[in-house]
Amino acid sequence: MSKHWENVLISPEDTIKKALEIIDNQALRVVLVVDEGRKLLGTVSDGDVRRGLLGGLNLSDPVSGVMNSNPTTVAEGQSRDALIEVMESKNILFLPVVNELGCIVGLETLLGSLQQPKYENPVFIMAGGFGTRLRPLTDNCPKPMLKVGDRPILETVLRRFINFGFHNFYVSTHYMPETITNYFGDGSQFGVKISYVHEETPLGTGGALGLLKSSLSGDLPLIVANGDVLTTVNFERLLDFHIEHRSDATMCVREYEYKVPYGVIENDGNKITAMVEKPIHRFFVNAGIYVVSPSICSSVEENEHVDMPTLLERHIEKNRDVLMFPIHEYWLDIGRLDDFNRAQVDIYNLGLD
C-alpha cells in the first residue's frame, strides 16, 4: 500500500492543470478524484490528460472532463498475489482501494506490490488453547491445526503475515505441542524463522508474553494474534497506525450488532416515555489481534497468568496510550462448530486457501 496516496486526492472541480502538477510531483502516476466524503469518482493518469488536451480541452477545464469514471478498484484486504494478478491481467499500474461504501482508503501500485516489504517486527501467534468447544474435532488435534480448506488454520494465519513481509515468528504452545512443532519446524520451509514458547500450564493470552520477553531485543513493536482467527485485515496498515499514533498498545476491534427481539420500553418511574421496536445495539468487541510495545511485554512476570484484555486494562489505569484499530475487513473467530463450518466455505471465497 502506498504511504502517500492521500497526496493524490483531488476534487472534480479542480483543474486539469492541478491534476497534471500532482502527477508530475508525485511518484504514483495517478490522481484520484473524490467527493467531499472521499467517495471515489474516478481516476486520472497522464494518458487521460493528454487525450483530453488532444480532444480540445484546456488546462483550466475541470478534471472531471478527463477522468476515467469507471476505474478498476479493489476491496480492502486483498493478497499481494491477487493484486498483481488483477493489474497484470488488465495491464494497469495502479488499483484504488475502496471500502464497502466506495470510499477510497488506499492505493496499490504494481511496482509497490512487486517489491515485497520486509518487517523485522516479531509476530507472536497464540496456539496453545484446548479448543474444547470444537470437540470431538480437537480430541486428537489442537484447534489451530484443524484444517480449513486444504491447510491448518495456523498455516493460513502464518501465510497471511508472510504475504505482508513479516518473517520473524514466535508461536506459543501447550496442548499437543508436537503436532504444531513437527508440522512447522523452524519455519525454513516457509522462508521464515519460527521459535516456540511452551506454556507448562495455560497462562492466558497476555501471560505468554512473560515467557517471550527474554527472547525479544530492540524497541520494535510486537504483533500478537490468536492462532484461530481468519481475517483479511491489512497488517501493514495496523502496524503503521500503531507507530504513527505512538501507541503503547493497539487492539483490533470489530463492530458487533445485537438486535433486541422485542419492543423496548423506556420509562421515567412508572411513566412510559418512549417505545422502541426491536432496537439494534452496536458495540466494539475484541478481535484477538494486538500490537504492543516492548514495555508492555516487559511488564508481564514470567509464568504470570493474565489475559490480554486484563493486561491492557492495567496500563489504561496507568494512563498509557491503549488505542483501538477498527477492522472492517473479513474476520472470523473459529470458536464453535458453526464457525468452523462457515470457515470451510469462506476460505475459498476470500482467496486465503
Among residues 114, 142, 175, the one where a domain terminates is: 114
Task: Provide Rg for the chain, Cα atoms.
Answer: 24
DSSP string, 259-280: E-SSEEEEEETTEEEEEEES-E
Q: Structure pTM?
A: 0.68
At residue 316, the pLDDT reads 92
- Please list, residue by residue across 297-325, b when 16 or more beta carbons sit within 10 angstroms of its beta carbon and e when fewer do: bebbeeebbbebeebbeebeeeebebeeb
135 and 170, same domain (yes or no): yes
100 and 142, same domain (yes or no): no
110 and 136, same domain (yes or no): no
208 and 271, same domain (yes or no): yes
At residue 66, the pLDDT reads 87
CATH number at residue 138: 3.90.550.10
- The answer to whether 19 and 49 have CB atoms below 8 angstroms apart is yes
164 and 242, same domain (yes or no): yes
**Cα 199 from chain centroid (whole Å):** 27
20 and 161, same domain (yes or no): no
How many domains does one find in the chain? 2
What is the mean pLDDT for each group of 10 consecutive residues in the chain (353 residues)?
Answer: 75 88 74 89 83 81 88 77 78 82 82 68 89 83 88 92 90 91 91 90 85 78 92 86 90 87 88 88 88 89 87 90 85 88 83 61
> Phi/psi class of residue 159: alpha, beta or left (left: φ > 0; alpha: ψ in -120 to 50)?
alpha
Residue 89: which domain range?
A: 5-114
